[in-house]
């Protein structure tokens, strides 16, 4: 490894102790979707106390995200390190306090460590290494801590709609320290309502059982085949999943077992490819439902998009698929930094499977004209295990080093 004196000074400031400590601080503050503001205040104070220019950005009343900028002298390219403050819901089965992180071997555990507080800590340590080294930057280095990524990118959509821009961006989602992810799928959610006709079970002859009708819909959707051009980098897609179902009487789905339910709703998630549009997906779903209706005229349905808030909690935005060219400057800058530090090219640049079968906030960045990639440490949720979620510490260290060198290169 051959590094300049400036790079060496910065790299010496990337330490495991800092990575572990920062991850623990972030994990300790719960930040579920819609409840990110306490963590936003924490990272704003952390950045402000270190000399970053800090903006608390109000996405909706009382819901804050943070944009912190290490100002350059002018004339250079600007780079955004980005990650989301919100975490997935807390699952059952934890045998330790999920908000008190701990280290076991090469893993840092805690709720949200994998998605994506380990990633946040990684780019925070990298940015601090650049700042503390005293390196002279021409372009701005921006740290964006956004809200609502798990609802389709509410915070990033807001930031882009405001007109905030940098020349390029890196999101530290957990695609692996040896991979640069330039491709991912799109995600869309919608509701399908089946409307029946209620009545007492003593007079079922004049009723239409909405839940039973929905059972036909579920079976048909399980076999759906989308009419689209195959997309080789994402061979398993498009794919549809029914995530939840609710039924009963009336629009409030009241449970009255002696009565036939006249309303049943499912929430559908489709992960789609760049050769599809949202309208294409909905067309194919309607084709299936219309085929059922032709066989059963009593089957009445309605598609609603976005999903009603009272079902999904908060609105879910559509995330478009991304396929960033591998010759984009941010891809090449990361690849150069990786090869300089590791002595070999990244293992893979492109669609990192199976993680690329999902989507993230690069959708909004690329849509706004900001070339953006995912490069972050491997992390996982130990499904069914006693220890919950973790991020790999050695990969955090490697990613932080690569980001440090990348920032010094891009913003020089």
Give residue-wise pLDDT tens across range 350-389: 999 999 999 999 999 999 999 999 999 999 876 545 567 9
The model's confidence at residue 54, banded by pLDDT at 50, 70 and 90, is: very high
3-state secondary structure of 298: coil
Can you give the pLDDT at residue 383? 52
Q: Clarify whether residues 280 and 357 are in a common domain.
A: no
Cα–Cα distance for residue pair 24/101, rounded to 1 Å: 5
Locate all alpha helices (DSSP H) within 239-308, ordered by sequence.
278-295
Residues 7 and 406 sit within 8 Å (Cβ to Cβ): no
DSSP 88: P
Can you give the pLDDT at residue 77? 97
Can you give the pLDDT at residue 387? 64
Residue 167: closest CA among 200, 137, 197, 193: 137
Cα–Cα distance for residue pair 193/247, rounded to 1 Å: 9
Can you give the pLDDT at residue 3? 80
Q: Clarify whether residues 38 and 168 are in a common domain.
A: yes
**Domain boundary residue, one of 257, 290, 312:** 312
Give residue-wise pLDDT tens across range 261-293: 999 999 999 999 999 999 999 999 999 999 999
Q: Give the torsion through C-alpha atoms of 148, 151, 152, 155, to 10 deg.
A: -20
Cα–Cα distance for residue pair 300/284, rounded to 1 Å: 17
Q: Clarify whether residues 23 and 164 are in a common domain.
A: yes
Asked whether the bond before 329 is cis by omega within 30 degrees of 0, the reply is no
Q: Clarify whether residues 130 and 234 are in a common domain.
A: no
Can you give the pLDDT at residue 382? 64
Q: Clarify whether residues 14 and 141 are in a common domain.
A: yes
The model's confidence at residue 95, banded by pLDDT at 50, 70 and 90, is: confident
Q: Clarify whether residues 365 and 275 are in a common domain.
A: no
Cα–Cα distance for residue pair 68/54, rounded to 1 Å: 4
- What is the tally of structural domains in the chain? 2
- Beta bridge partners of residue 146, listed in sequence order: 84
Can you give the pLDDT at residue 385? 53
Judge whether residue 207 has pLDDT over 60. Answer: yes
Residue 173: closest CA among 82, 100, 250, 288: 82
Token look-up 């790299």 returns: 11
> Residue-wise over 253-273: b if at least 16 C-beta within 10 A, else e?
beeeeeebbbbbbbbbbbbbb
Q: Clarify whether residues 190 and 180 are in a common domain.
A: no
Q: Give the torsion through C-alpha atoms of 111, 406, 133, 21, to 10 deg.
A: 10
Mean pLDDT of 18-24: 98
The model's confidence at residue 2, banded by pLDDT at 50, 70 and 90, is: confident
The model's confidence at residue 242, banded by pLDDT at 50, 70 and 90, is: very high
Can you give the pLDDT at residue 51? 96
Residue 330: closest CA among 81, 68, 130: 81
Provide the domain limits for residue 289: 186-312
CATH number for the domain including 229?
A: 3.30.70.360
Q: Clarify whether residues 206 and 327 are in a common domain.
A: no
**Domain boundary residue, one of 276, 292, 312:** 312
Judge whether residue 30 has pLDDT over 80. Answer: yes
Can you give the pLDDT at residue 270? 98
Q: Please, what is the average pLDDT of the chain? A: 95
Mean pLDDT of 78-86: 98
CB atoms within 10 A of CB 302: 11
**Domain boundary residue, one of 295, 312, 329:** 312
């Amino acid at each position: 490894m051959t590094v300049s004196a400036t790079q060496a000074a910065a790299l010496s400031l990337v330490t495991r102790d800092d990575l572990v400590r920062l991850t623990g601080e972030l994990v300790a503050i719960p930040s579920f979707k819609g409840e990110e503001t306490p963590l936003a205040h924490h990272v704003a104070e952390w950045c402000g106390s270190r000399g970053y220019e800090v903006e608390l950005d109000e996405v909706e009343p009382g819901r804050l995200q943070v944009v912190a900028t290490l100002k350059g002298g002018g004339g250079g390219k600007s780079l955004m390190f980005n990650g989301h403050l919100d975490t997935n819901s807390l699952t059952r089965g934890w045998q330790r306090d999920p908000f008190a992180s701990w280290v076991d071997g090469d893993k840092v555990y805690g709720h949200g460590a994998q998605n994506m507080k380990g990633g946040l800590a990684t780019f925070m340590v990298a940015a601090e290494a650049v700042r503390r080294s005293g390196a002279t930057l021409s372009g701005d280095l921006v740290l964006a801590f956004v809200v609502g990524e798990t609802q389709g990118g509410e915070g990033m959509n807001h930031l882009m709609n405001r007109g905030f821009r940098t020349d390029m961006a890196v999101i530290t989602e957990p695609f692996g320290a040896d991979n640069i992810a330039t491709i991912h799928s799109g995600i869309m959610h919608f509701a399908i309502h089946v409307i029946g006709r209620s009545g007492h079970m003593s007079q079922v002859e004049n009723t239409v059982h909405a839940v039973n009708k929905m059972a036909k819909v579920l079976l048909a959707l399980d076999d759906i085949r989308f009419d689209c051009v195959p997309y080789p980098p994402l061979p398993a897609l498009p794919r549809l999943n029914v995530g939840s179902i609710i039924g009963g009487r009336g629009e409030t789905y009241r449970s009255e077992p002696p009565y036939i339910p006249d309303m049943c709703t499912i929430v559908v998630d489709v992960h789609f490819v760049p050769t599809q549009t949202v309208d294409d997906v909905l067309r194919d779903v309607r084709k299936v439902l219309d085929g059922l209706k032709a066989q059963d005229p009593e089957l009445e349905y309605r598609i609603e998009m976005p999903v009603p808030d009272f079902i999904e909690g908060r609105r879910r935005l559509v995330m478009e698929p991304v396929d960033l060219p591998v010759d984009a400057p941010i891809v090449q800058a990361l690849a150069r930094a990786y090869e300089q530090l590791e002595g070999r090219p990244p293992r893979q640049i492109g669609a990192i499977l199976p993680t690329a079968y999902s989507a993230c906030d690069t959708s909004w960045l690329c849509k706004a004209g900001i070339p953006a990639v995912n490069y972050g440490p491997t992390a996982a949720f130990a499904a069914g295990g006693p220890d919950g979620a973790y991020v790999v510490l050695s990969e955090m260290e490697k990613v932080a080093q690569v980001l440090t060198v990348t920032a010094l290169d891009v913003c020089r």
